[in-house]
Amino acid sequence: MTTITKATSDMTFQDFKVEILEDYKTALTSRECSLLGRREVLTGKAKFGIFGDGKEIPQLAWAKVFKNGDFRSGYYRDQTLMMAIGELSIQQFFAGLYGHTSIEADPMSAGRQMGGHFGTHSLDENGAWKNLIDQKNSSADISPTAGQMPRLLGLAQASKIYRNVKGIDTTKFSKEGNEIAWGTIGNASTSEGLFFETINAAGVLQVPMVISVWDDEYGISVHARHQTTKENISEILKGFQRDENNKGYEILKVKGWDYTALVETYQKAERIAREEHVPVMIHVIELTQPQGHSTSGSHERYKNKERLDWEKEYDCVAQMKLWMIANNIVTEEELDALHKTIKKDVQNGKKAAWDAFLKPILVERKEALSLISAVAQKSSNRVFINKLINDLTDIQEPGRKDVLSACRRALRYLVGEDSSEKTTLQNWITTYFEDVQPKYSSHLHSTSKWSALNAQEVKPTYNDDAELVDARLILRDNFDSIFGHYPDALIFGEDSGNIGDVNQGLEGLQEKYGELRVADVGIREATILGQGIGMAMRGLRPIAEIQYLDYILYALQIMSDDLATLQYRTKGKQKAPLIIRTRGHRLEGIWHSGSQLGGIINLIRGIHVLVPRNMTKAAGFYNTLLECDEPALIIECLNGYRLKEKMPNNIGEFKTPIGVVETIKEGRDITLVSYGSTLRIVAQTAKELLEVGIDAEVIDVQSLLPFDLNHDIVKSVAKTNRLMVIDEDVPGGASAYILNEILNTQNGFEHLDSQPKTLAAKPHRPAYGTDGDYFSKPSSEDIFEAVYEVMHEVSPNDFPKLR
């Protein structure tokens, strides 16, 4: 280990010794939490454990340079850092392990994530931004390996935007762009594509990002020789090292058990990133993982004796202890006494966390037992109910599942019996659900006053002589208005900048607003999403553009696991109001058809999915969302940019409501429901159906998530008594979702006189060319004949068979 050096020249040696001892206390506390946490899992009190043992000392060095305003986007072993910056106590650590549903007890996620997943509170109790530059920040972790990397890029890019774009109110978000985004990742996860994509993007963008690679030579049980070329991530990334002629990274390497070298390395990394806005990678080698990957397996199964002996000797906490003794900072006896004290503190913290977790459940059990006992006394099935009472009583440490299950099972023995006690039990169960279910299910969407559902519609207005223009011009002028009105708004994507996007919806805007606000990016969809998430988490209003809906599949994991769950997994304490712009539908061919919505809507619950039929509607959605605090995906119609629409005179002001359908044509015989480009075909076909005496009502869904909040479609079905849903997704996709919403959520089945129908595309991607499209997706003739067949079944004489 390197020799002792003081952190700063004006620090006395005595002060330095005190600081070192405090660091060691934090390391020991973290280690004891890991050791005791594993035991809690093995006893069954906690369900799963993944801990930060072996990574303590590097995180102490990191904590010294982690400043207010900085952000962490990390790996689920960073508990020591969180303890060192004062954001994780012993009791909170164990509360998270037990799954305590109180945000006060477990401020990381209110029991919604397993232990090891850390976040701080960016929002107050009303959903408004706190002052992020007055606190140390951690973006909420996710488990998917390397999934934290795309978001890290955006957190770092926000500093570049704040430093270089004028006119933004930075009061709560940045101090001259001086904040660093700190990322961590296990060495094995550097094999993931998201890691390489992010590393490349950060090098191109030159953002203040420091990524620490915790290298203990294993990924679960798999050695680095199976993970990384040359078994060395910093070696193979040498090409990213900056030099006199080329921008790039500063790449540093340090041993994870060498306290002073770690402190010096992190100080150097901080200076480069904070002052120069250059990304830095720190490869922290020779780390250990004393308890193996997790409580689901023992590392003795895959490490040989030599490796285990080495890990015991070079355990970073053990090495720090030896170093302190060798440098006469403290005696071994003093350290042993300190260790005993910390063990006791951790035990006490664990007990306090468990007592706090169990206490309200015991109260609830007592209430339930009293109610079940009361109904048992009045029931002819008291013998069976008494068994439920005894079983529940015998559970020493019950969960809410045990309490509620016993109550619900008791009702099975009360069928056909009436008593006030039964009514009381029924009411208690209903109230219990109302009180308890939100602890596990709330905050999928914003509950603040900025919720998208609170936005009021503002209709587009037109001059009497309104010009018919290419629809793309409405988008372009609306974006122009947005960037003029919102200094913190920016858009970026493939071809978005210089040429003004592939369909010219951003024509001329880069020249007007600059390359940072209207930006081109590389072909890397996952990190385009990551840029948007990170910047939105730091108060900016980004619009991330994915060129075609088909290519959103590259970013779907990030959308699903990170963005869609953010408000939920933090119980409303973090948000990322990112707008994702893309285009799809009705372009001919397998890879540009953009119709895989059935998969998307079921994977990104928590993100609004909006499917406007034209560019005026799309522009209205952008205007709505920029007044809200929720993420959304807007899918523009790919074949609609050159179609003619009237130019509104209130560009930038009109707003399309979210979760509201629109009736395009009223009718009496059948309700036709569709969206996007297909809606135009449906509307045209409805006119043709009039020629044969079929009067169809046509409804534009507009918003798939959320769907028809006012239940207007079922009102239409109540009038027509027949229903058909048409789209160009595969069978069982979005049309099946829509049908389920109408029949089951809205109880539309009550009004049907005919079998409800769906008309979708073939179960394959669309073939190339106009004929390929015709034979792959619903055509006007398909829709006409399908509707006609429904009416034939109703009245064969009026509507004889077509074929």
Catalytically active residues, by annotation: 592
Q: Cα separation of 368 and 12, whole Å?
A: 62
Is the distance from CB of 372 to CB of 388 less than 8 angstroms?
yes
Amino acid residing at 111: G
Q: Which residues contact 451 (CB under 8 A, 6 or more apart)?
A: 445, 628, 629, 630
Phi and psi at 740, nearest 5°, equal -60, -40
DSSP class of residue 562 equals I
Q: Which residues contact 322 (CB under 8 A, 6 or more apart)?
A: 1
Burial zone of 553 (CB within 10 Å; 0-12 exposed, 13-18 middle, 19+ buried)? middle
Cis-peptide, bond into residue 706, ω within 30° of zero: yes
For the stretch 260-295, what's the b/e string if a residue is b when 16 or more beta carbons lie within 10 angstroms of its beta carbon? bbbbbbbebbbebbbeebbbbbbbbbbbbbbbbbbb
The H or E element containing residue 118 is none
Best CA proximity match to 470, nearest among 710, 250, 642: 642
Q: Cα separation of 699 and 652, whole Å?
A: 26
CA torsion 706-709-712-717 (nearest 10°) is 70
Tokens of 226: 């199976």
Best CA proximity match to 574, nearest among 612, 609, 544, 536: 536
H and E: helices and strands count for the chain:
26, 22
Tokens 């109230």: give the residue: 431
Bridge partners for 249 per DSSP: 241
Is the distance from CB of 387 to CB of 372 less than 8 angstroms?
no
Best CA proximity match to 279, nearest among 402, 156, 458, 179: 156
Q: Which residues contact 164 (CB under 8 A, 6 or more apart)?
A: 177, 516
C-alpha dist (Å) from residue 399 to 102, 357, 370: 15, 10, 17
For the stretch 456-494, what's the b/e string if a residue is b when 16 or more beta carbons lie within 10 angstroms of its beta carbon? eeeebeeeeeeeeebbbbbbbbbbbbbbeebbbbbbbbb
Q: Cα separation of 50 and 37, whole Å?
A: 9
Q: Which residues contact 464 (CB under 8 A, 6 or more apart)?
A: none
Best CA proximity match to 581, nearest among 483, 501, 473: 501
Q: Cα separation of 138 and 80, whole Å?
A: 13
Tokens 């010294």: give the residue: 64
Tokens of 167: 């006119």
Best CA proximity match to 4, nearest among 12, 16, 22: 16
The H or E element containing residue 698 is strand 696-700
* Three-state secondary structure call for residue 72: strand
CA torsion 194-196-200-205 (nearest 10°) is 30
Tokens of 610: 């909006």
Tokens of 348: 């006490």
